Amino acid sequence: MKVAVIGAGMAGSALVEELLKLNPSAEIHLFGEEKIPPYNRIFLADILSGKKLPTQLLLKSYQAYEEEGIKLHLGERVERIFPDVRKFVTSYGKVYSYDKIVLATGSLPNLPPVKGLKKKGVFAFRTIGDVFGIMDLARVSKRAVVIGGGLLGIECVKALRDAGLKVFLVHILDRLMEQWLDYTASHMLRKKLEEFGIRVLLEKRTEEVVGDEKAQGVRFSDGEILEGDLVVFATGIKPNVKLAVKSGIEVNRGIVVNDYLETSKQDIYAVGECIEHRCRTYGLFSPIMEQVKVCAKNIVYSNVERYEGSFDYSLLKVAGVKLLSAGDVQEQEGDELLLYKDKENYRKAVLRKGKIVGFIFYGNLSGSEKFLELLKTGESFDEAFALIRGLLIDEKKDLKETDMVCNCNAVSYGDILRAIKNGAKNLEDIQRITKASTSCGSCSTLIEEILKAHVKVRPTKINKVEEYKKKVHPFEADLLKKLEEWANIGDWQKVPEEDREIGLKWYGVFYRKATPGYFMVRVRITHGKLTSEQAVILAHLSKKFGRNVIDLTSRQQIQLRWIELKDLPEVLHAIREVGLTTLQTGMDNVRNITGDPLSGLVEESLIDTISIARRISETFLGKRQYANLPRKFNLALLGSKRDTINCKYNDLCFYLAEKEGIIGFNVYAGGKIGSGGPQEAIDLDIFIRPYEAIDLSKAVLELYTDMGNREERSKNRLYFLIKELGVEGFRAELERRLLRNLWRRGKDLVEGGGERHGLIRQKNGLYAVSLLVPAGNFTGNDLEEVAYLARKYGSGEIRLSVYQNLYLINIPEENLSELLNHPIFEKYPISSSPYFNGLIACQGSKTCAFGVIENKPDAIKLASYLSEKLPTDKRLRMHWSGCAKGCGQHGAGDLGFVGTKVKVGNEVKLAVDVFLKGEKINTVPLDKLHLYIEQLLKEIKSL
C-alpha cells in the first residue's frame, strides 16, 4: 500500500507513526513545506524563552525516518491532487501516485484586518521560522507588542519578557483566554502576568502597525499609539484548505470529513487542524491524536472505526503559571458549581445533570488528570460532590493501573509502572519508552511524582551546580532584582549561599572567599574592543568602588574588584549604560569571545573577525538555551596569520585557512587547559566560510547542551564529548543539526604565534601602539589616562589582548612622538624583554580562593630575574596559572607554571609544576625556580 501524507506537522508525523504500527510494510511518503523534519509546535515559545533548543523540538532525526523506510519530502509543497487518477503534483513539478492520501495541512495564522502587516518587524507566531525571525529581531529590540490574549499570545509575551524585552500584551476583549476562562481566572492570570513585568491592555482594537518600512508600534481604534519595535500577532488560526480547494474537495470552514475522516473524494482522508467534522474544527493536540488513531485504522483496514468527536482542553505552558481548562466552563442555568479559591489557587467545576461538563484549574493542577478522564468518558457520579470536592482541595487519591496519566498519547498509570520496571529512571526515559509528556506536557508533574514514589536510584555523583539549575535557572530566578533587595539590606551574609556562590556568576558577579565581604565584577569585552567612553566609566567605577584596581584578564576582559554588596546595582547599571555587559562571564556559559586584538588593522589579518564575534555573542547572550551548558565554553576566532590568542586551547577554535581559493576557517574543538590537564583542540576536519561561523557555533552549543556530561564537573568539558562520540560522530551530529553536509578541512594559513609589541604599522598607514602591562596589573587612574590618549591621538578606541596588554590604534605618524613622550609609557613601555612581552598570569591567592601561590608577583619576579641574567631577543611565552584550573593558560605557553605545594624534607613549601610546550616536566619550589629556569633555558636551544 502506498500512502501519501501531506503535511509534516504534528498530525502528519503522528499519523505516520500509527500507520507504521499497523502496517510496517506500507510505503509511506511524508510531504512538508518547511525544510526541517517534523517538530513539536506546542513548545515554540520555549525556544523563544530559551528553555529549549530548536533541535529538542524535532520529533525524529532524518536517520530515524530513513531507518523506518519513510520517504521524507521536505521543502516540497503539494500543489494539486487529481483524485480520479490518484495522482498529485508538487512544487518541484514531480508527479506522484498513491493508493491512499491524507491531508494534514494544518492551519494558518488568522491575521486581523490591520494595516501595515507587511512591514519589517511584524510577525505571526505559528512556525519555527516565525520564531527564528522574532529571535533575530529581539536581540536588537527593546519593546515588543503582542496582539492576542489567547494561549499562544500569552506564551509568546512571557517568552519575550524572559528574553529581556519590555513587553505589552494587547487583547480586543475584556478578559484573557475568553474561550477557556471565566472573569475570576482571567483576573488572576492577568495579575500574575503583570507581576512578571508584562503590561496587559484589554479591550483594545488594533487598527494599524505604525512606522515607515519598519514597525515602530501599533495604533488602536481609540487613536492611542503604543510604541514597539517588534510586533507579534498571535490572533488565532484558521484551517489551511488551499490544497483541498484546488483539488475539488468539499470545504466549509475546514475540509469536510465524515465519521471515518474521509473527505468528499474517495481514498482521500484528512486529520488535524485543517478538518471540519460535524461542523466543528479542532486546534489542540489531544483531539488530533484521537483523529490520527482512527484515521490510521481506516486507511489500513478500510473504514472500520468511527470518529465521534472530541472534547478540547487548554494548558497554559508559562513558567510560574499553572493553568488547565477543559470543556464548557461557562455555567448555564441549572448547572451545579463547585468552587475553591485562595490567594494562589482557583478551581471551578461545572456539573450538568450529575456529570462534569467543564472545569478550570489555576495554581495547583493536582487531580486534573482525573477530571479530564471524567470529562472524556461522560461518567455520572452518585457521589459527585464528595469526590470532586476531595480533588479540589487536593486530597491525595490512589491511582489505579487503568487511570490515564497522559491523555494525548493514551498512556495509563500501569504503562508508566511497566516502563519503570523495564528500567526507566527519569522523565526522559518515560518519554522515550511510552511517549507520555511528549505532546502538551500537562502530565509531566504527575509523572515526576510517580517516579519519586517508585524510583529510588540516584546518581552516584551529584553535581551541585546542576542541582542548583534544576531548581530554578538563574535567569528565571531574576537574581538581578533580588540583588537590589540584598544590596538594600547591605549584609553579604544574608545572600543565600547558593545564589552567592553559583547563581550570581551568570550575571558576572563573583563573591570571592579570599576577600570576605567583597565581590568581583567581570566585564565582557567582546574581542577585546573597548571605546574610550566605556574605558572612562570602568575607570571611574574602579576608583569609586573598587580601590582603583583594574585587572586585565587573559580573555581580553576587565575585572573590577573590592566591590561591596551595596554598590553592585549601581556598578552594573553604569556598565550597561555604556553598552557593556557582565552577563554570562562565569559558570556554565559561553565566556568572552577572543580574537586578534588588531583584527582588521594589520596586513596579517585576512578576515576581520570582530563583527563575527559580535553576531555570535548576540546569539547566546541573555538566552536561556545557551546559558545552561554542562560546563564553561571558550570560543576564539583567528582571522590572522599570527596566533595572538592561543586559539587552539579553546573549546571551539576557528582557525584561518584557505580552500579552493576561498579564505575561511578550519574548525578545531575540545581545547582546554584545566579539567585533567592541557589539551590542544582536536581537528574536526571541517572548513567553513567566515559567515558560517555563526550557525556552526550555534550547532556546537546545541549539541554540547543536549549530549554533554552533566555529572562530574572535572570531566564535562566539550573535549570529553568529542572523545566519546569520535570526530566522525561529532561531525555527523553537527551536520544533522545544520541540515547539510560540511566541507572537509582546507589548508591552515597561521604561521606563528605570540604577542605583537612596539609600534605596529596598520594597513591604512596609521599605527597601533602597545602598552605592556606586566601580568595585567592596572589601575583606574591609568585606564582613564589611556582613554584620554586614545581620544587625543587616535580614533578613541582601545584594544585588549589575551596577554593582558593594551593597544592604542589608528595613531597618525605625526602624533607618535608626542604620544610616546607621555609619562604613562615610563610605567607601561611599548616593549620590554621577551620574558615580559609574552607573559600571562592569572589571579593568585591574594584574591582567588583557588590560588595556591600569589602568582602575579611570582611571574613578574621571574621575568625580571631572567631579563637581567639571561637577556635574549628570542620570542618566549611564559604563562602562569595560580592553580590547576588554568586561567593563566599555562598549557599554551612555551613555558607554563602552575601553583602547587611540594614537600622538601619535613617542610611543605610553595612550588610550581613546570610545563614545557604543554607537557609537565618537573615540580620546583618557588624559592629555587629562578635558578632552575635559568639553567633550563641555557640547555634548550630553541622553544
Q: Active-site residue numbers?
A: 522, 631-632, 882, 887-888
- The DSSP element (H or E) to which 480 belongs, if any, is helix 479-489
Tell which residue, 677, 602, 694, 676, has the closest CA to residue 639.
Answer: 602
SS3 162: helix
Q: Which of 263, 254, 262 is nearest to 282 (CA)?
A: 254
Contact yes or no for 381/260 (Cβ under 8 A): no
Phi-psi bin for 596: left (phi > 0), alpha (psi -120 to 50), beta?
beta
The residues with which 80 forms a beta bridge, in sequence order, are 89
Residues 6+ apart with CB under 8 A from 476: 162, 319, 624
Contact 783, 539 (CB under 8 A): yes
Beta-carbon contacts of 209 under 8 Å, excluding residues fewer than 6 positions away, are 114, 115, 116, 117, 119, 122, 215, 217, 218, 231
Q: CB-based burial of residue 599 (10 Å sphere; 0-12 exposed, 13-18 middle, 19+ buried)?
A: buried
- DSSP code of 113? S
Q: Which residues contact 474 (CB under 8 A, 6 or more apart)?
A: 502, 503, 504, 506, 507, 627
The three cell numbers locating residue 187: 483576573
N residues, the chain: 943
- H helices of 274-367, in order, are 285-301
Residue 373 in contact with residue 403, Cβ under 8 Å? yes
Whether the Cβ atoms of residue 733 and residue 725 lie closer than 8 Å to each other: yes
Considering only CA atoms, which of 212, 303, 197, 210 is closest in space to residue 259?
303
Close Cβ partners of 838 (under 8 Å, ≥ 6 residues apart): 754, 755, 803, 875, 876, 877, 878, 893, 894
Query: Distance between CA 787 and CA 804 in Å, rounded?
Result: 16
| Cell reading at 401 | 493501573
Q: 425 and 454 in contact (C-beta within 8 Å)?
A: no
